[in-house]
């Protein structure tokens, strides 16, 4: 039995059946540095997929911050500690002025769960609007707000679905269609006697196929929800922390100030940190009615890690890097699109790119070919994935320290993998 086959058998036996691996030939990673990963055979991979290692795998300053605080003290938010306050100040400095409080969790799912609890108390409503292929987490509530999980995750109570913006297919370039979809969902809510609570949206619509456009769609949609008495929750687990290059947060690209902002993955460069920023009135009312203690959320080690990540983004100019390298990446994939009929659309914001793969004869979404491209790239040492309602959108979302050199490698690997998949 090869060592991977042995690990696969043990995994299945020990961890049970609910986990899924990437790639036809799973990758057994043993170390990482920056944008590079190494497997158990010593093969290196260019990581063009992981937003979790936001500032690069095992960034030395993040590792040092973690190790130093772990060697000093780790407790929780029932004791006074300055690190959590310093981190709160730094995160809030990056938010619009209206968002004056932040609370800490360990994951994006917990952040969404907390935001929704607070929104329910604040609005007195229960009706939640999400997109048709959204993903918002793994808790009972957030899995019920994650239709992209399929039939295994039945819809939560009082949830209403809207189509995400999709200018290639819906032809709407100014965002008014998304807003009118939200308005129609609010009307359905009213007809059902349900009081509106929140519009909850991943601000780059990752699992809806990566839809960075049209800009402004979220502002118009949030206006609809607020006019009906609900709040707008921006889920920044994917688009946040500099990913889109032009702004720290995906909502800012749309010119909207949310009532609550949920964060996760990239905050900790691999360490589990989640957070919710909110208008103080919302957390004040929540605090009047409820207590919140998250044992690990906001602990001093996590706070020091979060601070180090923000320092690295600032000191290494990673927001600007995401803009310039992201633009080069988009240009390189658009160039391929001009030669490869199977790429129907390229949509990108900063270092987040979706490329829609279609059958060249029929123009229909081609998830089989998208998967073949992803697996061919993996074999050639470049890691990406695929997503979207039909599974045919190549998802390219590298660490923020991706370089122009890395773009060249990505593009040549993509080109040869498209040829191989034909
Ligand atoms: N929201 C979005 C948009 C996500 O992509 C994810 C994770 N894929 C989550 C929430 C949940 O985050 P976590 O896995 O940290 O619970």
Instruction: Find the residues whose C-beta lies inside 6 A of ligand 1.
Output: 107-109, 112, 135-138, 202, 206, 235, 237-238, 264-265
Distance (Å) from CA 236 to ligand 1 centroid? 9
- The pTM for the full model equals 0.98
Rounded Cα distance, 265 and 73, in Å: 24
Residue 208: which residues within 8 A CB-CB, separation 6 or more?
A: 131, 132, 133, 134, 148, 164, 166, 202, 388, 389
Residue 2: the pLDDT is 61
Instruction: Map tokens 């199977």 to a residue.
Output: 342
Q: Which atom of ligand 1 is nearest to the CA of 106?
A: 15
Question: Residues 224, 342: one domain?
Answer: no
Residue 229: the pLDDT is 98
Distance (Å) from CA 95 to ligand 1 centroid? 20
Question: Residues 341, 204: one domain?
Answer: no
- Does an H or E element contain 289, and which? helix 280-289
Question: Residues 93, 68: one domain?
Answer: yes
Distance (Å) from CA 111 to ligand 1 centroid? 9
Q: What is the CATH number of the domain that holds 379?
A: 3.90.1150.10
Residue 3: the pLDDT is 77
**Domain span at residue 294?**
61-315
Q: Which residue among 54, 137, 149 has the greatest number of ligand 1 atoms within 8 angstroms of its CB, and so is best to mutate?
A: 137
- Does an H or E element contain 82, and which? helix 82-93
Question: Residues 127, 137: one domain?
Answer: yes
Question: Residues 83, 47: one domain?
Answer: no
Q: Which atom of ligand 1 is nearest to the CA of 112?
A: 10
Q: Which atom of ligand 1 is nearest to the CA of 137?
A: 11
Distance (Å) of CA 177 to CA 43, 180, 184, 348: 47, 5, 10, 20
Question: Residues 250, 292: one domain?
Answer: yes
Q: Which residue among 50, 133, 237 has the greatest number of ligand 1 atoms within 8 angstroms of its CB, and so is best to mutate?
A: 237
Residue 151: the pLDDT is 87
Residues 253 and 234: beta-carbon distance below 8 Å: no
- Point out the domain boundary residue: 286, 315, 344: 315
Question: Residues 412, 265: one domain?
Answer: no
Q: One digit per residue, pLDDT tens: the chain, 422 residues?
A: 567 899 999 999 999 999 999 999 999 999 999 999 999 999 999 999 999 999 999 999 999 999 999 999 999 999 999 999 999 999 999 999 999 999 999 999 999 999 999 999 999 999 999 999 999 999 999 999 999 999 889 999 999 999 999 999 999 999 999 999 999 999 999 999 999 999 999 999 999 999 999 999 999 999 999 999 999 999 999 999 999 999 999 999 999 999 999 999 999 999 999 999 999 999 999 999 999 999 999 999 999 999 999 999 999 999 999 999 999 999 999 999 999 999 999 999 999 999 999 999 999 999 999 999 999 999 999 999 999 999 999 999 999 999 999 999 999 999 999 999 98
- Point out the domain boundary residue: 266, 297, 315: 315
| 199 DSSP β-pair partners | 129, 232
- Going by C-alpha positions, the residue among 65, 60, 51 that lies closest to residue 266 is 51
Q: Residue 34 gets which letter from DSSP?
A: B
Question: Residues 244, 393: one domain?
Answer: no
Rounded Cα distance, 276 and 283, in Å: 10
Per the omega criterion (within 30 degrees of 0), is the bond before 160 cis? no
| 327 DSSP β-pair partners | none
Rounded Cα distance, 69 and 78, in Å: 18
Rounded Cα distance, 146 and 152, in Å: 10
Cα dihedral 126, 131, 135, 140 in deg (nearest 10) = 20
For 271, list phi and psi in degrees, rounded to 5.
Answer: -85, 140
Residue 152: the pLDDT is 85
Distance (Å) from CA 343 to ligand 1 centroid? 27
Question: Residues 111, 205: one domain?
Answer: yes
Instruction: Map tokens 């921006």 to a residue.
Output: 234
Q: Which residue among 20, 52, 130, 135 has the greatest number of ligand 1 atoms within 8 angstroms of its CB, and so is best to mutate?
A: 135
Instruction: Map tokens 């490698």 to a residue.
Output: 409
- Point out the domain boundary residue: 315, 344, 370: 315
Residue 269: which region, alpha, beta or left (left: phi > 0; alpha: psi -120 to 50)? left
């Amino acid at each position: 039995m090869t060592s991977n086959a042995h690990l696969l058998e043990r995994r299945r036996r020990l961890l049970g059946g609910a986990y899924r691996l990437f790639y036809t030939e799973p990758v057994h990673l043993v170390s990482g540095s920056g944008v590079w990963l190494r497997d158990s055979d010593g093969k290196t991979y260019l990581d063009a997929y992981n937003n979790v290692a936001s500032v690069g795998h095992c960034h030395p300053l993040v590792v040092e911050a973690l190790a130093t605080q772990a060697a000093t003290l780790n407790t929780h938010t029932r004791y006074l500690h300055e690190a959590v306050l310093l981190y709160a100040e730094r995160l809030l400095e990056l938010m619009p002025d209206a968002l004056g409080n932040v609370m800490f969790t360990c994951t994006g799912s917990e952040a969404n769960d907390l935001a929704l609890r607070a929104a329910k108390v604040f609005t007195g409503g229960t009706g939640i609007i999400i997109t048709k292929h959204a993903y918002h987490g793994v808790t009972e509530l957030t899995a019920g707000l994650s239709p992209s999980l399929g039939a295994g995750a039945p819809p939560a109570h009082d949830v209403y679905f809207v189509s995400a913006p999709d200018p290639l297919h819906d032809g709407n370039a100014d965002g008014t269609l998304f807003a009118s979809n939200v308005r129609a969902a609010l009307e359905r809510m009213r007809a059902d006697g349900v009081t509106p609570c929140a519009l909850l949206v991943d601000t780059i619509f990752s699992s809806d196929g990566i839809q960075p456009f049209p800009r402004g769609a979220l502002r118009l949609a949030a206006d609809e929800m607020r006019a009906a008495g609900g709040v707008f929750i921006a889920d920044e687990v994917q688009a946040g922390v500099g990913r889109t290059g032009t702004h720290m947060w995906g909502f800012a690209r749309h010119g909207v100030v949310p009532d609550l902002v949920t964060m996760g993955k990239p905050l900790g460069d691999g360490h589990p940190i989640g957070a919710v920023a909110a208008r103080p009135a919302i957390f004040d009312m929540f605090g009047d009615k409820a207590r919140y203690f998250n044992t690990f959320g906001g602990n001093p080690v996590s706070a020091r890690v979060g601070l180090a990540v923000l320092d690295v983004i600032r000191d290494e100019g990673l927001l600007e890097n995401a803009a310039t390298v992201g633009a080069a990446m988009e240009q390189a994939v658009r160039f391929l699109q001009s030669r490869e009929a199977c790429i129907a659309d390229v949509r990108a914001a900063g270092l987040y790119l979706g490329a829609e793969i279609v059958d060249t004869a029929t123009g229909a979404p081609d998830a089989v070919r998208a998967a073949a491209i992803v697996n061919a790239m993996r074999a050639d040492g470049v890691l990406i994935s695929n997503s979207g309602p039909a599974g045919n959108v190549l998802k390219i979302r590298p660490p923020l320290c991706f370089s122009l050199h890395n773009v060249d490698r990505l593009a040549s690997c993509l080109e040869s993998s498209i040829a191989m998949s034909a």
